[in-house]
Amino acid sequence: MRYLFLLLFCTTVFSQNIAIDSISYDYFYKNELQTIVRLKKELTNKKHNALKQLKIAELYANINCEDSAYATYYNVFEKENKRKTLNDEQYKDLLFQLHRTESSKHNYEKDRRFFLKELQWASKNDASDKWFAKIEYENFKDIFEDSSKYKVAFEKIKTIQKTNFYKTNDAFRALTLLGLGNLYTSLRQYELSEKALNESLLLARKNNDLLHQTYTLINLGVNERVRGNYKKALFYLNQTDTLSNKKYRIKISRIVAFQKLLAYEGLNDTIAAKKQEKLYDKLDSLVNDFAKNSNFYEIDVKFQTKEKDLKIKQLDDLENRFVRNKIVYGVLIFLVFLLALYSFIRWKKVDRTKRILALEKEKAERATKETSEELETVKKKSIIEHIVLKNKSKVYLDDLLYIRADDHYLELITKNKKETTRGSLKEIATQLPPNFIRCHKSYIVNTNLIKTDNTKEIIMQNNDIIPTSKNYRKL
């Protein structure tokens, strides 16, 4: 049952007793991953095909592989700047997708907006206000994240609603109304939010836009949860399980699980809340794990290996041409001697180069294997629930805030207690998963339980202040 369509994901996981630990990217995206592999094979040793590469990038984005999607989009962008094969509208859409993919990444800097500026310049003389409206909505999203600028965000929405593209394009109007509904919820104007979101939902259903229907139902649930209407919030959130949306399913399922968790906590239903918490933790670990490990060695080491294979093939072809030309060398004895000598010297160089490349290829393949083993080690650490100290005490990692070194002893500070044991930070760090980072020569902190931080210190969820050092800090 693991690969059945996940039309009712959350319900299926619990009602059919599918083990949460068995859920993987293959569980969600087997067909999409197979399609990506097929399209990549079709592009092997062929000329630049922008449309096919854009399809691969779109598939990567749909399965939450933002790094791979961004790399593929950017590859098309670079080649299109050298030799344009897309029409103007397709090129503008490429710039827009690059911006959206880049801005969805965790460490995105809003001040950059490089591709959005490129799109603004490319569309400045358009007769249509389509791209103006889309660019304004992207700017609205950035402004909306700053709670001190809600008034500015509201004015930005009003500007968008005056455009002809908003008035004539149902899909964009549904998107804009979704943003307006979110803004009203933040302003605690719940009735206006519900009205805007219901209008957005009707448009999404009219367009048969399953992704937008999902987002709108989630936001209707959030609006009701914030109002304290927990049962009505669950009514909206449960409706998302009935939609066969295939895009961004892991991240969307994680959002839904978290909102259900909050709603069940509001209803004091601890059993249902615990189930949603377990589901959320599994989905969150999937998203974080894939974000950290997504194709980085495929892009680097495997690419180098393929290049070296190509060079070896080219050298083999060169060597074969020398063999075929031996008949010609036999015509003139003097030239045979000279050319044979030349061929021998050249062959030695080629052979040496081949052996060097083969050695480098072997090293690259070994690096790939080592990297894979390291990734497996990281994955195993990420599922450890607790560690056992030398005094046989168990410390659960979800509750462990930070560890402080004091001479030859360690203090482990959890949410509820403090444990002391003999040892060193270097020794205990080998037992911890990647979310535990050494930020100072005397401290290791749990990045999942950080309240706030700056360049000089970190404040944990229990309000303890932890110093940081530039020699250690890598948050």
Q: pLDDT tens digits, the chain, 475 residues: what are they?
A: 333 333 334 433 333 344 444 445 455 566 777 777 777 777 776 667 888 888 888 888 777 777 788 888 888 888 888 888 889 898 989 888 888 888 776 555 555 678 888 888 989 898 999 999 999 998 888 887 766 678 888 888 999 999 999 999 999 999 999 999 999 998 899 999 999 999 999 999 999 999 899 999 999 999 999 999 999 999 999 999 888 877 777 788 888 999 999 999 999 999 999 998 998 888 877 766 555 544 433 443 344 454 456 566 666 676 677 666 666 656 667 777 777 778 888 888 887 888 888 888 788 778 777 766 666 665 555 567 788 888 888 888 888 999 999 888 899 999 888 889 888 888 888 888 888 899 988 999 998 899 898 878 899 999 999 999 887 755 5
Q: Does a structural domain hold residue 338? A: yes
Assess whether 238 and 91 both reside in one domain.
Answer: yes
Instruction: Name the residue among 410, 412, 378 with its Cα closest to residue 395.
Output: 412
Assess whether 91 and 175 both reside in one domain.
Answer: yes
Assess whether 91 and 209 both reside in one domain.
Answer: yes
What's the CATH number where 406 sits? 2.40.50.1020
Residue whose structure tokens are 């080491």: 301
Assess whether 75 and 43 both reside in one domain.
Answer: yes
Assess whether 162 and 223 both reside in one domain.
Answer: yes
Assess whether 312 and 423 both reside in one domain.
Answer: no
Assess whether 26 and 102 both reside in one domain.
Answer: yes
Q: Does a structural domain hold residue 322? A: yes
What domain count does the chain have?
Answer: 3
What's the CATH number where 195 sits? 1.25.40.10
Please give the residue range of the domain that contains residue 362.
Answer: 296-382
Assess whether 374 and 392 both reside in one domain.
Answer: no
Assess whether 390 and 331 both reside in one domain.
Answer: no
CB 210 within 8 A of CB 245: yes
Q: Does a structural domain hold residue 68? A: yes
Q: Does the predicted model carry a pTM greater than 0.75?
A: no
Q: Does a structural domain hold residue 252? A: no
Q: Does a structural domain hold residue 302? A: yes
Q: Does a structural domain hold residue 140? A: yes
Assess whether 119 and 166 both reside in one domain.
Answer: yes
Instruction: Name the residue among 71, 74, 67, 65 with its Cα closest to residue 94.
Output: 74
Assess whether 362 and 307 both reside in one domain.
Answer: yes
CB 472 within 8 A of CB 440: yes
CB 98 within 8 A of CB 73: yes
Instruction: Name the residue among 293, 316, 305, 300 with its Cα closest to residue 363.
Output: 305
User: What count of other Cβ atoms lies within 10 Å of the Cβ of residue 440?
Assistant: 21
Q: Pick from 356, 382, 408: which residue ends a domain?
A: 382
